[in-house]
Structure 1
Amino acid sequence: MAHAISYTDTYPKAPLFTRIAHGLATWIDSYAENQPRMRGVRALQAMSDAQLAERGLKREDIVRHVFRGIY
């Protein structure tokens, strides 16, 4: 005797609203991360403390320095 099991959808999809919310959150995150100011923050964070000191910055002041024109 043979048994056959067919799965049409092994991993069921999330509800529509959940997929829309996840897609929107992913887009917002991607948009925010690719802004010039965020690239500036990442560039300064990649510097050593000595390099930041040459620029007159402390590590904890990077975000405040980069976003100073907004706040």
Structure 2
Amino acid sequence: MAHIHTSAPHSGTGFFHNVGSAILNFFTAIAESNSRMREAERLNAMSDQELARIGLKREDIARHVFRDMYYV
């Protein structure tokens, strides 16, 4: 699960604060429901030995999960 923490010098309950919060919550929900994120979380929960068995290193998880979207 992705955790996002934001802080602002002054937060309030004004219109722009509410709109910003709604947008942030929307994109957070999209990211968390994305099947690629679930796959990354599943792989990240594996031990280093389990990852080695399938030919991955922990630092290569994101590259592996997003390999067809991003050319890194």
Could you tell me which runs of 5 or more consecutive residues in structure 1 were left unpaired when the two chains were aligned.
1-12
**TM-score of the pair, normalised by structure 1:** 0.79
Could you tell me which runs of 5 or more consecutive residues in structure 2 were left unpaired when the two chains were aligned.
1-11
User: What are the superposed Cα offsets for residues 17-59 of structure 1, whole Å, 9 maximum, x if unpaired?
Assistant: 1101111111101111110000000000000000000000000
Number of equivalenced pairs: 59
Structure 1: 4+ residue segments shifted above 6 A:
none
SS of the aligned residue for 2:68 comes to coil
Q: Pick 1 or 2: higher relative contact order, CA cutoff 8 A, min separation 6.
A: 2
Larger Cα Rg: Structure 1 or Structure 2?
1
**TM-score of the pair, normalised by structure 2:** 0.78
State the superposition RMSD in angstroms: 1.0
Q: Once the two structures are aligned, what percentage of the paired residues are identical?
A: 44
